[in-house]
A and B are shown apart, each in its own frame.
Chain A
Amino acid sequence: MGAVKSARFTRSWSWVAALAAAGLVLPVVVADPFALDIFIRVLLFAFIGVAWNLMGGYAKQLSLGHAAFFGLGAYTSTILLIRFGISPWIGILAGGLVAMAASLPIGALCFRLRGPYFAIATIATAQVLMLLFLKFRDFAWGAEGTTLPNLGDAPLMMQFESRAAYYYIALALLTLGLAITYCIERSWIGFYLVAVGEDEDAAEAVGVDTTKIKRHIYLISAFLTALAGTFYVEYIYFIDPNTAFSFNISVEAALVSIVGGIGTLWGPVVGTVLLEATSALLQSWLGSGHGGVQLTVYSLILIAVILWRPNGLIGLFTDLYQRFTHAGAARARKVPFDG
């Protein structure tokens, strides 16, 4: 049993090593800035998905308002940069802290509700923040938004000539998110989160402080999502409330996790890669004309995935992988949460 386990262990680590190596050399191989842009978006949305998945996936608190933290991260670092000349490297952490602080009252309100009502309440919080930033012009440029000053190649201000640099930042963010998830999954925190996601009353019965664990995971999830917000603004050099608090961000965060595999380490990554690839391919085949044919086909594919693979596509891959390797030994691994 131990030998089998350690063989599986080294095999999965060699996968991770191969993936990391591929990730590191990719910008060297792919010089095309358009292609690199797609990869940066994949990494960024995979990261947002990973941040969402900690709370939405493991603890099944289906938030549809993560744009609130994305936007707060984006605005905090931008305000610090433009008004006070503070580097976004500091701003990104400040944004994370602001998002954490915001998650406390938002959580206190929304966690009173369960299931779909919780989701609706979180949508509302992101919308309220968007309205605040739209209305208060003196505070943050209102609806027009602002462009970021172009400082040329200024690594200390998170601005780079080369697109590869942005790629590596996004890769680092994703790695951070995955590392945090990995540690949580393999500790009591992961067990407590899944317990909350499965049955809150039963979790309380075995001593899980459900309110506290939800609050804590919301803090972490909000912090990570805010990092993505800062990075995104620094990458596109522009901010306005409609971009920063976009409902699309909230939906995408949930969607990539659900399509890939909710409550799994690699689910959001698999989901983002597949969704982005599908979307990019459809766009090149069907074009963006034809009155949204491409979006229709994309939606149909989404519906098909949700119907056939409600637990996400990652299950499909592990099934195939086990069929090609040897099925018997890996059976235990099919259960997502084992001791």
Chain B
Amino acid sequence: MAEALVIRNLSKRFGGLRAVQDLSFSVRDGETVALIGPNGAGKTTSFNLVTGYYRPDTGSVSAFGRELVGLRPHDICGHGLARTFQVARPFGKMTVLANVMTGAFLRNRNMDIARSRARAAIDFVGLSAKEHTAARELTTIDQRRLEMARALATEPRLLLLDEVMAGLNHAEIDQAVALIGNLSKRGLTIVIVEHVMRAIMAVARHIVVLDHGQKIAEGSPREVVANAEVIRAYLGTGYRHEVPPAGTVGGVAC
């Protein structure tokens, strides 16, 4: 299977802080990969490096065979990588529909076509009832939905989701998991940063664990949760006893 995203020896320092150190991993086409680790491990920084918001000090990022380092964020979006932000950043004074249309204009500048494509994306995330609501009036959860719809409207091949489930209740997490599952079924490659282990176990085929900017483990969900280093740095010793049997959704949120 072809590689959708290849990250090689990526490093970024902020002054004396090594935010990301010599990070390498790759994501295969159509796969869902989770990036986990404690706060400050460098997950969001990695997203910003991949999507062009930060320029790496060293290393390379290539997606679908194209080098991305040095490109501006909108170019990277044009190459089929769409992202969401950890704290949703909707265009507050626009309606939900206008927000998503702004994303749709990347592929087609025609108003009617953009509108119908935007509606499809809004429908997909289940926000159709609030199409004409101003984005700033939405709840946090709906703002995250909106941001996902806006990203989808750019017709990405690779979607980078930054903590879309933080603060959701159990039912909402199940909805979000189903949504990501559906996206994956449509053939989208997904990289997800998340703390909700229950969701990660359900959606990710492959997990990369970061700590202090470095990759400390990588593998299938079952391998990762059994890894002593990962338990020490992130999951905590209590997690060991709650490893779910393969194929089920369970475990605890950290």
Contact = CB atoms under 8 A, between A and B. Distances in A.
A191 B93 contact: no
A210 to B, nearest CB: 7
B224 interface: no
Contact of A206 (B53, B92, B109, B150): B150
Interface centre among B51, B98, B109 (most CB of A within 10 A): B98
Contact of B114 (A188, A201, A205, A335): A188
Interface string B46-74: 00000111000000000000000000111
A273 B26 CA distance: 61
Contacts of A198: 91-94
B103 A206 contact: yes
B95 A337 contact: yes
Interface in B87-111: 89-95, 97-98, 101-103, 105-106, 109, 111
A199 B74 contact: no
B82 interface: yes
Contacts of B91: 194-195, 198-199, 202-203, 337
A145 to B, nearest CB: 43
B106 A207 contact: yes
A204 B98 contact: no
A336 interface: yes
A206 B93 contact: no
Contacts of B134: 335
Contacts of B154: 206-207
A162 interface: no
Contacts of A194: 91, 93-94, 98
Nearest to B78: A207
B94 A209 contact: no
A207 B77 contact: yes
A191 B89 contact: no
A203 B150 CA distance: 10
Residue from A192, A201, A209, A339 having most chain B Cβ neighbours under 10 A: A339
Interface in A200-250: 201-211
A332 interface: yes
A211 B82 CA distance: 19
Nearest to A191: B102
Nearest to B100: A339
Interface in A249-274: none
B102 A210 contact: no
Contact of A192 (B89, B105, B133, B150): B105
Q: How large is the interface on B (under 10, 10 to 19, 20 to 34, 35 or more residues)?
A: 35 or more
Given A198-B94, A335-B95, A335-B132, A206 B115 contact: no
B83 interface: yes
A187 B111 contact: yes
A199 B53 CA distance: 14
B101 A339 contact: yes
Interface in B134-153: 134, 150-151, 153
A206 B102 CA distance: 7
B78 A337 contact: no
A275 B77 CA distance: 44
A338 interface: yes
Contact of A203 (B52, B102, B132): B102
A186 interface: yes
Contact of A186 (B83, B85, B103, B111): B111
B118 interface: yes
A195 B95 CA distance: 12
B111 A210 contact: no
Contacts of A332: 132
B70 to A, nearest CB: 15
A339 B78 CA distance: 22
A201 B153 contact: no
21 contacts: A194-B91, A194-B93, A194-B94, A194-B98, A195-B91, A198-B92, A199-B90, A201-B89, A204-B52, A204-B77, A205-B83, A206-B102, A211-B72, A335-B95, A335-B133, A336-B94, A337-B93, A338-B94, A338-B132, A339-B97, A339-B115
Interface of A: 186-188, 191-192, 194-195, 198-199, 201-211, 332, 335-339
